[in-house]
Amino acid sequence: MYYQLSPTEQNYIKQIYTLSDGNHQNVLTSDLAAAIKIKAATATDMLSRLSDKKLVDYEKYYGARLTDKGKQVALNIIRKHRLWEVFLSVKLGFSWDEVHEMAEELEHATNDELSNRLEQFLGNPKTDPHGDPIPNRKGEIEKQKTIRLSETGQDDTVEIRSVEDQNPALLKFLSKHKLTPGARLLVKEINQYDRSLEIKVNNKKVLQLSRDVAENLWIIRVK
Amino acid sequence: MYYQLSPTEQNYIKQIYTLSDGNHQNVLTSDLAAAIKIKAATATDMLSRLSDKKLVDYEKYYGARLTDKGKQVALNIIRKHRLWEVFLSVKLGFSWDEVHEMAEELEHATNDELSNRLEQFLGNPKTDPHGDPIPNRKGEIEKQKTIRLSETGQDDTVEIRSVEDQNPALLKFLSKHKLTPGARLLVKEINQYDRSLEIKVNNKKVLQLSRDVAENLWIIRVK
DNA sequence: AATAAAATTTAGATTCGTCTAAAAATTTAA
DNA sequence: TTAAATTTTTAGACGAATCTAAATTTTATT
């Protein structure tokens, strides 16, 4: 019961959690393999090992889902990941699009006592720099009802919560135009022919956003 | 030339550096094995692999010593280790004897950009909480001419620089009596029969230290 | 519904870091 | 200086995490 999980195992579990959207759907071998950048055969192998350890429910050919035990592991890693992201961005001044990779390494070098102290040192932040909520030490996470920017209507005022795609080019683009979590957006116009959006950012600059970009921005409606 | 070293390899290199006392002597297979807590056969194996990679000069049966390349690797890891120790102790409030293990993990999850920013964030500290100097980003380390407390004479005033033994019980004892780096000690008396020392700590409490403990405290003479 | 295409699993191989047991070399002691 | 004790190395094995290639199962298409 109380053996240590390897960083590799923890990574698989974290990815399964993310891909299952908080454990609401089964994760397919191929999707998992793509996310972790390993071959499908390897994912199959690991899935059956995680299944032996009761961390996932896995049915051959139909994918996997985390058990309660697995979900706790996932949320604990995600907690550490996001706390480090806050540290790197707020205390060390790394930009929003640089922190992910580093946090990926640090999270596995972090025991619970360390993450708890770090949280306190950071002033108990509620979200990471991408706007995603940080699970508390019991593994509870605040559920946000977000929608994609592409799903808003004209004249809506919204606030960016998180970004879906981790593509560096996209993150750079967003960073450049201040399209970061917390940013306020006014949707001025929606073009019917290509579904692009004209938006005003933080009550200042007006921008044209492609449908593609809008699909990747998760937002909440404001007011 | 530019492949990544594994955390394991980095650990071996760091230990070789430490055991060779800054590369002044050959490190024997058995000492290395004891320090890393692996079997001698494993150490032999790794030594020949590190030799293939030109990180150590290794001669069968006579031990190993770091090459210049290996020494750079060692100092870079030690730099990261000690910066994290400062962070954990100064910013997160961990005690002096708790930080080593955690820093051991974090050092391998740290790229150069991160250690540089961390250093700046910490206000460019010169030493870690144990009093050991932190190598700069070029891998240069301040050489201190320290001696063991057991080598001082009566009435000397000295300052603790570092502790040799990493034994937790010893660290706790030292911590309890404020025998930490930076502490000022006045050697009041040296008992000839058991070579124990009577010392005054920070101009306050008077203590009796066994020869064993005195052997483990590295100090510099003051004034 | 049969077959072609795609996804998944199985089988077998490889590398890293470790072990134990046995062989070889060095050091110590009689 | 020879024999005994100790240290080191070699040989062979193993588990974790990965791969490729082949076999199997599921899904899609005609």
Residue A2 pLDDT greater than 70, yes or no: no
* Protein-to-nucleotide distance from the CA of B9 to the C1' of C24, whole angstroms: 27
Mean pLDDT of A141-162: 86
* Protein-to-nucleotide distance from the CA of A21 to the C1' of C12, whole angstroms: 35
Q: Which residue has the higher pLDDT, B13 or A26?
A: B13
Instruction: Look at A1-10, A191-200, B173-182 and tell me which has the smallest mean pLDDT.
Output: B173-182
* Protein-to-nucleotide distance from the CA of A69 to the C1' of C12, whole angstroms: 33
* A105 vs B contacts (CB less than 8 Å): 108-111
pLDDT at residue A120, as a whole number: 98
* B108 vs A contacts (CB less than 8 Å): 105, 109
Report the nearest residue to nucleotide D10, CA vs C1': B41
Label residue A131 by pLDDT band (50, 70, 90).
confident
Residue A168 pLDDT greater than 90, yes or no: no
B7-66 and B78-143 agree in CATH topology: yes
pLDDT in tens, B132-171: 899 999 999 988 778 899 989 888 888 887 778 766 677 7
Query: By percentage, how much of chain B surpasses pLDDT 90?
Result: 53
Tell me the shortest Cα–Cα distance from A96 to chain B, in angstroms.
Answer: 14
Coil, strand or helix at A153: coil
Long-range contacts of B197-202 (CB under 8 A, 24+ apart): B197/B149, B197/B150, B201/B177, B202/B178
| Domain regions of chain B by residue span | 7-66, 78-143, 147-221
Report the nearest residue to nucleotide C11, CA vs C1': A41
* B97 vs A contacts (CB less than 8 Å): none
Q: How far is CA A113 from the centre of its chain?
A: 23
Contact B117 A111 (CB under 8 A): no
Q: What's the rounded Cα separation, in Å, for the pair A89 and B203?
A: 43
Sheet containing B197-201, strands listed edge to edge, beginning at the edge strand earlier in sequence:
B147-148, B217-221, B157-163, B184-190, B197-201, B206-209
Which option is the CATH number for A7-66: 2.60.120.10, 1.10.8.640, 3.40.50.720, 1.10.10.10? 1.10.10.10
Mean pLDDT computed over every residue of chain B: 89
Q: Which numeric CATH code is attached to B78-143?
A: 1.10.10.10
CATH level 3 topology of A147-221:
SH3 type barrels. (2.30.30)
User: Do the Cβ atoms of A218 and A161 come closer than 8 Å?
Assistant: yes
Q: How far is CA B174 from the centre of its chain?
A: 16
Report the nearest residue to nucleotide C21, CA vs C1': B41
Is the confidence metric ipTM above 0.95 for this complex? no
pLDDT in tens, A56-107: 999 999 999 999 999 999 999 999 999 999 999 999 999 877 899 999 999 9
pLDDT at residue A111, as a whole number: 96
